[in-house]
A and B are shown apart, each in its own frame.
Chain A
Amino acid sequence: MIKILIILLQLIFFIAVSPFISGVITKIKNNARMRKGQSVFQPYCNLVKLFSKGEVISETSSWIFKAAPFIVISSSLGAALLIPVFIFSGQTYYIGDFLALIFILALGRFFLALAALDTASAFGGMGSSREMFISSLVEPAACLVVFSVSLQFGSTNIASFSGMHPVSISSLVASFALFLVAIAETSRIPVDNQETHLELTMVHEAMVLEYSGKRLALIEMSSYIKQMIWFFLIAQIIFPIAVPCSINTAQIIPWCLWYLARIFMIAGAVALAEVSVAKMRLFRVADFLSFAFVLAIIATICAILGV
């Protein structure tokens, strides 16, 4: 019973906190551009607004379009369960490891790409094609990062990344490679731009263009969760800390604070990266991700050399 409660608590934690991270990133970006910007709680308002609205569904679409948002949100939340937050003695890592997490996220992406094709709109096809292009080039870099990290920590179990390891060159390089991967996966500049609906550049937004109302809210929610998962993984590789072993308030509160502080550091870095570079052409993204792949190779070599 307590296990189910902990699992529920973790799901609620992800749902409750993840929009805030996006709000903070937007706020930092706006402030860096000398604007006042929207409130950090704007993503919540957007979600509430979308949830209270009706929907328009394309007449050419099939059940794939209607079912995809639920599959997408379940894949994001399922992946979030593999992250050690409140799971003190580690029950959920029986479900799967870091590699499984990458595959679970791929499940949601697959259905979103199909749903985009389902509406017979050229925008959807564009987004779907681009998204699958970018994500397939992300895979080798992500896989090699997992490889180098598992060489260091001895396992692909995410809970094992929390040993008291000193920061090494390998984990720094690996986390930078993962940072680039996360930028591509969370549709941030320079790979994609969440703020625009320009057909020449949009990727994720083009895929979800036909969605509205509650289903759009679910998709937005799942991108927030996905973003938090990636930020957590980066944070855990740079600053690996142990998950508390028992339910003890004296331990949990500092752990939670430190936990969130790390994620917001990464979010700050992403925001600064976004305001300081321009969006790339789609075919330059291949170079960008090759760079991430080369970094991952360097991280692996460092891990093999033990530095």
Chain B
Amino acid sequence: MEHLNIDSLFLFDPLSAFFLCVIFLISLPSAVYSIGYLKGESSGLKTALAWFLLVLFLISMGLVVSVRNVFVFLIAWEIMSLVSYFLVVFDTKHEKSIQAGTIYIVMTHIGTAFLIAAFLIMFKYAHSFNFAAIKSACSLMPPQTRNIVFLFLLIGFGTKAGIVPLHIWLPYAHPQAPSHISSIMSGVMIKTAIYGIIRFVIFILGVNSSWWGVLILMLAVISCLVGVIYALMEHDIKKLLAYHSVENIGIILLGVGLAMLFISMNMPYLAVFSLIAGLYHLINHAIFKGLLFLCAGAVYKATETRDIEKLGGLIKKMPQTAVYFLLGAMAISALPPLNGFVSEWLTLQAFFLGAFSVEGGYRLFLGLCAAMLALTSGLAAACFVKAFGITFLAQPRSRYAQNAKEVSLSMRAGMFFLSFLIVVFGLAAAIIIKLLAKVASAATGINTSSMSFSLNNFILSPQAGKGVYLSTPLLAAVLATLGIAGFAIYKLVNREKAVIYKTWDCGYYKLDSRNEYTATTFSKPFRIAFSFFLLPYRKTQKIRESFYHVKSFAYETHTTMVFKKYIYEPILGLVFRSAKFMRKIQPGSIHLYLSYIFVTVLILIIFMRKF
């Protein structure tokens, strides 16, 4: 019965507390939001079911990050996966939900299988399920076994986190769930996988070979780029956001991977600093991605479509939602002085500071990783200019967008709270970084009491001797003052009222929404520049009335999903082919089965005699 003891079951170190904090910071506004979101969507019983599943989901996530027993951890992990599966297929109106749910549940169980394998290997050495016992046993593990355990954990948690190429389920499952669930899944659930990596790889297993960190960095860079490039091509607003989750998991893992690299190189300051950068981006991503999914849900609720090609002009119909989406878009594009900027700056600084301490080839490697992170943030900015510009600006492209109305108060309240957090986490960076230092210290076991990451409560200063500073409050003050001063001067000089007139139309006089730029055209330069990876193809068809007269023109363009086509479809084909083969030897005839048994017995007898 000793397992039921609370102390031996729960663990409340700063790392667990941090993740609990992330879970409830995002879930609370999402729950408030769901009051308005679920209204009118489904019957009373189904709404009650939605609430029940939501609560179960939160409890299971809370358990995942706070238990100290591998066995209970797995149970909580499995409950979390199953409940989220039910939430993905919750919206039964769409056929796609079932397909998305199936892909999700298969992928997540492949991940869990690897986790179970890793935990069993750990159990073999520790003879206990307790974290502390496993931690002490792991130091005695032979290096090959450690490497295998690490790879199993990476695949297991990587599937949940959505690391490329294990991300395949993410863009299907996240958009299909109701929006407040998408926001929790993207904002929080995939972060439990990061918790798993930090807890089991850094805290329990301990990092002592540098290739672990390098592997994670490489996977992270690939995830960043693949995620953002696919997001640029996507026109379903929730799918676009789901691909951005793949990208941002990559950015978080850049911080975590760097921390592992520096731990193995025995550089405690840099290890803690990198982990802080990763954790900071983790909570930031939870906030702004949670917010963006809620805004996408509001757009869906108001217009009944998720296709941004059919939207436009919503800033006039839904002014508040537009402001919240704009803030989220600015934060995810790492624009100062919001929170995404701070954590990307910290991650870049971790690379730059690390480069001073490492040798030769590692320097170039870190530089290239930093450059790829910069490319990612540039592409993300482009993607959100597209997402915000096409959805909210210009003229409505369909009647869905024309008839949109601002959403209910409870939905706006949820979005407001998260927008507020975006600003707070941007401006209070120097205070938050001190709290995160404690979390990083608990995760790595490094004493951080003598390390300083900020000059005072306003100015960040990693490695004070280098003279590198960043102060978001000061920056915000400067930008605001300059902007307001500019506006004041403008108002002083301005004597006449601006003329409101039509957009210049080259004398065409019939400018309407069909002349606007669309999301497809916006992303065309990117489609061409990255065509080596996207493999775009297009189909044009002339619809003729007669030989001489072309009545209309059909045009279609798509990109090839490389991972799906060249990795998953061949594997799936193999599974189906082997199943077909199995069917042949299992035709249902009792005579054949009897002969199988006879042959088996014969072989066994010969085997026993001979050997």
Q: Residue A107 at the B interface, CB < 8 A? A: yes
Q: Are A118 and B474 in contact (CB under 8 A)?
A: no
Residues in B whose Cβ lies below 8 Å from that of A81: 478
Q: Residue A156 at the B interface, CB < 8 A? A: yes
B251 to chain A, nearest CB (A): 14
Q: Residue B363 at the A interface, CB < 8 A? A: yes
Q: Are A286 and B529 in contact (CB under 8 A)?
A: yes
Residues in A whose Cβ lies below 8 Å from that of B336: 96, 100, 103-104, 107
CA distance A62 to B388 in the complex (A): 13
Residues in A whose Cβ lies below 8 Å from that of B459: 94
Q: Are B517 and A125 in contact (CB under 8 A)?
A: yes
CA distance A138 to B377 in the complex (A): 11
B308 to chain A, nearest CB (A): 12
Which of chain A's residues has its CB closest to B466's CB? A155
Q: How many A-B residue pairs have CB under 8 A?
A: 261
Contacts known (A54-B499, A74-B482); A122 close to B475, Cβ less than 8 A: no
Q: Residue B67 at the A interface, CB < 8 A? A: no
Question: CB-CB contacts of B356-391 with A at 8 A, as 1s and 0s?
Answer: 100010011001101111110111011011101110
Which of chain B's residues has its CB closest to A160's CB? B467
CA distance A287 to B205 in the complex (A): 45
Q: Are A103 and B370 in contact (CB under 8 A)?
A: no
Q: Residue B400 at the A interface, CB < 8 A? A: no
**Interface residue count for B (Cβ, 8 Å)?**
84
Picked from B330, B355, B390, B498, the residue with its CB within 8 Å of the CB of A147 is: B355
CA distance A30 to B381 in the complex (A): 37
CA distance A215 to B375 in the complex (A): 31
Which of chain A's residues has its CB closest to B498's CB? A55
- Mark out the residues of chain A between 210 and 226 whose CB falls within 8 Å of any chain B CB in the assembled complex: 210, 213-215, 218
A222 to chain B, nearest CB (A): 9
Residues in A whose Cβ lies below 8 Å from that of B469: 93-97, 157
Which of chain B's residues has its CB closest to A142's CB? B374
Q: Are A95 and B374 in contact (CB under 8 A)?
A: no
Contacts known (A129-B525, A147-B355); A103 close to B394, Cβ less than 8 A: no
Q: Residue A167 at the B interface, CB < 8 A? A: no
User: Secondary structure at chain A's binding surface: helix, strand, loop or mixed?
Assistant: helix
- Mark out the residues of chain B between 304 and 340 whose CB falls within 8 Å of any chain A CB in the assembled complex: 313, 315-316, 330, 333-336
B315 to chain A, nearest CB (A): 5
Q: Residue A133 at the B interface, CB < 8 A? A: yes
Question: CB-CB contacts of B508-533 with A at 8 A, as 1s and 0s?
Answer: 00010101110001111110110000
CA distance A77 to B484 in the complex (A): 12
Q: Residue B410 at the A interface, CB < 8 A? A: no
Q: Are B517 and A147 in contact (CB under 8 A)?
A: no
CA distance A135 to B344 in the complex (A): 17
Q: Residue B494 at the A interface, CB < 8 A? A: yes
- Mark out the residues of chain A between 110 and 125 whose CB falls within 8 Å of any chain B CB in the assembled complex: 110, 113-114, 117-125
Q: Residue A51 at the B interface, CB < 8 A? A: yes
Q: Are A129 and B501 in contact (CB under 8 A)?
A: no
Contacts known (A78-B478, A110-B333, A135-B378); A144 close to B389, Cβ less than 8 A: no
CA distance A59 to B503 in the complex (A): 7
Residues in B whose Cβ lies below 8 Å from that of A155: 466-468
- Mark out the residues of chain A between 139 and 159 whose CB falls within 8 Å of any chain B CB in the assembled complex: 139-144, 146-148, 150-151, 154-157, 159
CA distance A117 to B282 in the complex (A): 31
User: Secondary structure at chain B's binding surface: helix, strand, loop or mixed?
Assistant: helix
Q: Residue B349 at the A interface, CB < 8 A? A: yes
CA distance A100 to B529 in the complex (A): 27
CA distance A107 to B526 in the complex (A): 21
Picked from B355, B360, B374, B524, the residue with its CB within 8 Å of the CB of A129 is: B524
Q: Are A157 and B382 in contact (CB under 8 A)?
A: no
- Mark out the residues of chain A between 41 and 79 whose CB falls within 8 Å of any chain B CB in the assembled complex: 51, 54-64, 69-71, 73-75, 77-78
CA distance A210 to B529 in the complex (A): 28
Picked from B386, B474, B500, the residue with its CB within 8 Å of the CB of A59 is: B500
Q: Residue A296 at the B interface, CB < 8 A? A: yes
Picked from B330, B375, B480, B528, the residue with its CB within 8 Å of the CB of A136 is: B375
Q: Residue A28 at the B interface, CB < 8 A? A: no
CA distance A143 to B369 in the complex (A): 10
Question: CB-CB contacts of A269-307 with B at 8 A, as 1s and 0s?
Answer: 000000000000011001000000100110011001000
Residues in A whose Cβ lies below 8 Å from that of B474: 94-95
Which of chain B's residues has its CB closest to A63's CB? B315
Q: Residue B18 at the A interface, CB < 8 A? A: no
Picked from A73, A136, A209, the residue with its CB within 8 Å of the CB of B504 is: A209
- Segment at the interface with A among B74-82, B154-162, B287-295, B485-493: B485-493
Residues in A whose Cβ lies below 8 Å from that of B480: 74
A66 to chain B, nearest CB (A): 9
B337 to chain A, nearest CB (A): 9
Q: Are A70 and B487 in contact (CB under 8 A)?
A: yes
Residues in A whose Cβ lies below 8 Å from that of B498: 54-57, 213
Residues in A whose Cβ lies below 8 Å from that of B345: 99-100, 103
Which of chain B's residues has its CB closest to A73's CB? B486
Q: Are B334 and A103 in contact (CB under 8 A)?
A: yes
Q: Residue B85 at the A interface, CB < 8 A? A: no
The interface centre, meaning the residue of A75, A129, A141, A297 with most chain B CB atoms within 10 A of its CB, is A129
Picked from A110, A126, A143, A304, the residue with its CB within 8 Å of the CB of B370 is: A143
Q: Residue A40 at the B interface, CB < 8 A? A: no
Q: Are B382 and A133 in contact (CB under 8 A)?
A: yes
Q: Are B501 and A147 in contact (CB under 8 A)?
A: no
CA distance A147 to B354 in the complex (A): 11
Picked from A60, A117, A156, the residue with its CB within 8 Å of the CB of B389 is: A117
Contacts known (A64-B315, A117-B385, A120-B515); A129 close to B375, Cβ less than 8 A: no
Q: Are B330 and A110 in contact (CB under 8 A)?
A: yes
Q: Are B381 and A58 in contact (CB under 8 A)?
A: no
CA distance A5 to B498 in the complex (A): 34
CA distance A3 to B390 in the complex (A): 44
Contacts known (A147-B355, A218-B490); A139 close to B378, Cβ less than 8 A: yes
A237 to chain B, nearest CB (A): 16
Q: Are A151 and B355 in contact (CB under 8 A)?
A: yes
A272 to chain B, nearest CB (A): 29
Q: Residue A172 at the B interface, CB < 8 A? A: no
A85 to chain B, nearest CB (A): 16
Q: Are B471 and A94 in contact (CB under 8 A)?
A: yes
Q: Residue A243 at the B interface, CB < 8 A? A: no
Which of chain B's residues has its CB closest to A145's CB? B371
CA distance A39 to B35 in the complex (A): 65
Q: Are A73 and B348 in contact (CB under 8 A)?
A: no
CA distance A282 to B334 in the complex (A): 26
CA distance A81 to B505 in the complex (A): 39
Q: Are B378 and A118 in contact (CB under 8 A)?
A: no
Q: Residue B352 at the A interface, CB < 8 A? A: yes
Q: Are A157 and B517 in contact (CB under 8 A)?
A: no
CA distance A300 to B360 in the complex (A): 11
B302 to chain A, nearest CB (A): 17
Q: Are A156 and B349 in contact (CB under 8 A)?
A: yes
Q: Residue B538 at the A interface, CB < 8 A? A: no
Q: Are A74 and B364 in contact (CB under 8 A)?
A: no
Q: Are B352 and A147 in contact (CB under 8 A)?
A: yes
Q: Are B393 and A118 in contact (CB under 8 A)?
A: yes
A and B contact pairs by CB, cutoff 8 A, 29 listed? A59-B501, A61-B503, A62-B315, A70-B486, A74-B486, A96-B469, A97-B469, A99-B349, A104-B475, A114-B393, A122-B517, A123-B504, A124-B517, A129-B386, A129-B521, A129-B522, A139-B374, A140-B371, A140-B372, A140-B374, A143-B371, A147-B351, A147-B367, A148-B367, A210-B503, A210-B504, A214-B493, A218-B486, A282-B525
Known: A110-B381, A118-B394. 20 other contacts (CB 8 A): A57-B499, A59-B502, A62-B316, A63-B315, A78-B478, A93-B469, A95-B478, A99-B349, A100-B345, A103-B335, A117-B393, A119-B394, A122-B516, A129-B517, A136-B382, A143-B370, A144-B370, A147-B367, A156-B352, A300-B367
- Which residues of A line the B interface, CB within 8 A? 11, 51, 54-64, 69-71, 73-75, 77-78, 81, 93-97, 99-100, 102-104, 106-107, 109-110, 113-114, 117-126, 128-130, 132-133, 135-144, 146-148, 150-151, 154-157, 159-160, 209-210, 213-215, 218, 282-283, 286, 293, 296-297, 300-301, 304
